[in-house]
Amino acid sequence: MRKLTIPLDAEVIRSLHMGDPVLLTGVMLTGRDSVHKWMVDTFISCTREPQGDDLQVYEAIKPLLNGGVIYHCGPVVAGLDTGEYRFVAAGPTTSTREEPYQGDVMRHFNIQGVIGKGGMGAKTLAACQEVPGVYFHAVGGAATLIAETVKQVSGVYKLDFGVPEAMWVISVVDFPAVVTMDSHGNSLHAEIDARSKEVLSELIG
């Protein structure tokens, strides 16, 4: 079991390989569909003009994402009325929804770790090789247990997207995950998919 501290760096990323179990400690950001689309449309493809607090949020998240980790998570959050936020549940979201955006977002912000469940596709795998970065698979169905690794919620951006879609800034200690896509072009998800197709072909052939 590797213990890793966020922010990560290229040397650490290159030392990780598909199948490595890890414990992550440090500050990470959550981000799902709305956040990824907002990042790409506003700051990467520039098909949308910055509005409201967009530029201020951009400047705030840039240093957190540089060498950082983004977590595909729609948390259940207590303390919304007082601002004393606490994660009650923090399970991973299915990552394939972010495949159209993730590679570009990784390159733009130098994100070196992506956490979710179910894996991602060829575009993200290419970005993992280039940035470099890795995809960490978190255990689905363990939302309450994962929330116990979240020791502090230090801020939130884009709360107007809604609680699950907002960008939460969290400090975690020993967040458990497994490297399933590495910077060397290996994807456990692609391997399982290919093997499953072979077995299916044998069964119906």
Give pLDDT < 70 ranges for the chain: 192-203, 205
Q: What are the structure tokens assigned to 144, written together? A: 């309450």
Active-site entry in 36, 72, 137, 189: 36
What three-state secondary structure class fits 72? coil
For 86, the enclosing helix (H) or strand (E) is: strand 86-89
Six-digit token pair at 44?
Answer: 């990467």
Domain that holds residue 110: 2-204
For 76, phi and psi rounded to 5 degrees? -95, 125
Burial label, 9 (beta-carbon count in 10 A; 0-12, 13-18, 19+) = exposed
**In this structure, which amino acid lies at residue 74?**
G
CATH number at residue 50: 3.20.130.10
Q: Number of structural domains, the chain? A: 1
Torsion of Cα atoms, 158 then 150 then 63 then 180, to 10°: -100
At residue 10, the 3 state secondary structure works out as helix
pTM for the model stands at 0.94
pLDDT for residue 189: 85
Tell me which residue of 64, 70, 183, 68 sits closest to 130, measured CA to CA: 183
**pLDDT score, position 194:** 66
User: Does residue 36 carry a catalytic annotation?
Assistant: yes
